[in-house]
């Protein structure tokens, strides 16, 4: 939403965040955006207590490759969450629609085919200016929202299985 600052959040104070293992897959395509999203994401994870050595960062060429890399990290079964970061900017052909749809479906597949919450942090904007506004510009940074979502989903999953984590609802 154009009226929401994506960087605004209330600190989560989740217990045991230092034990969380998080995979981040980011696209090099439109890196003027994706590097900002990745950096904000890592900053929030660390601010919330995730140890830097528990964050694995993997880069892929483009948004379409996020699906494969995210699924591979999910299959490793050593990550509590995976965050897929990318940016697709509309061009003059339907390529935008195909890529955006495929990436959304692929990240959805990670969520339903594995036991690892996979977070969709892919900007799908009409213009470069919109992407800049959502990656550290006047609308904040979607990477912050992705990090918060990952932490909340890990916490949710651990509360579903309190015997494993010692935490319950």
Give pLDDT, residue 161. Answer: 80
Cβ–Cβ under 8 Å, residues 29 and 64: no
> Exposed (0-12), middle (13-18) or buried (19+): which is 168, by Cβ within 10 Å?
exposed
pLDDT along the chain (169 residues), means of 10: 68 83 97 96 95 97 97 96 97 88 97 97 96 91 96 92 56
Give pLDDT, residue 166. Answer: 46
Domain boundaries along the sequence of the chain: 19-162
Give pLDDT, residue 93. Answer: 85
Strand bridging mode 140-141 / 135-137? antiparallel
Helix and strand counts by DSSP (H, E) for the chain:
6, 6
Nearest-angstrom CA–CA distance, 87 and 66: 11
Q: List the catalytic residues.
A: 95
Give pLDDT, residue 50. Answer: 96
> Model-level pTM?
0.91
Q: Can you list the positions of beta strands (E) in the chain?
A: 22-27, 55-60, 81-89, 118-125, 135-137, 140-141
Q: At the fourth CATH level, which superfamily is domain 19-162?
A: Lumazine/riboflavin synthase (3.40.50.960)
Q: Which tokens sit at 18?
A: 């230092």
Q: What is the number of other CB atoms lying within 10 angstroms of the CB of residue 136? A: 20
């Amino acid at each position: 939403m154009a009226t929401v600052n994506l960087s605004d959040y209330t600190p989560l104070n989740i217990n045991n965040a230092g034990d969380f293992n998080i995979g981040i897959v980011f696209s090099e395509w439109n890196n003027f955006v994706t590097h900002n999203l990745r950096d904000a994401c890592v900053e929030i994870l660390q601010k919330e207590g995730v140890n830097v050595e528990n964050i694995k960062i993997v880069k892929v060429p483009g948004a379409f490759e996020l699906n494969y890399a995210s699924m591979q990290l999910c299959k490793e079964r050593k990550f509590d969450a995976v965050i897929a970061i990318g940016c697709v900017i509309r061009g003059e052909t339907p390529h935008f629609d195909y890529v955006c749809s495929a990436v959304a479906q692929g990240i959805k597949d990670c969520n339903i085919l594995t036991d690892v919450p996979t977070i969709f942090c892919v900007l799908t904007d009409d213009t470069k200016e919109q992407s800049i506004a959502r990656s550290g510009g006047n609308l904040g940074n979607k990477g912050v929202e992705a990090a918060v979502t990952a932490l909340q989903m890990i916490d949710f999953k651990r509360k579903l299985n309190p015997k494993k984590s010692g935490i319950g609802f």
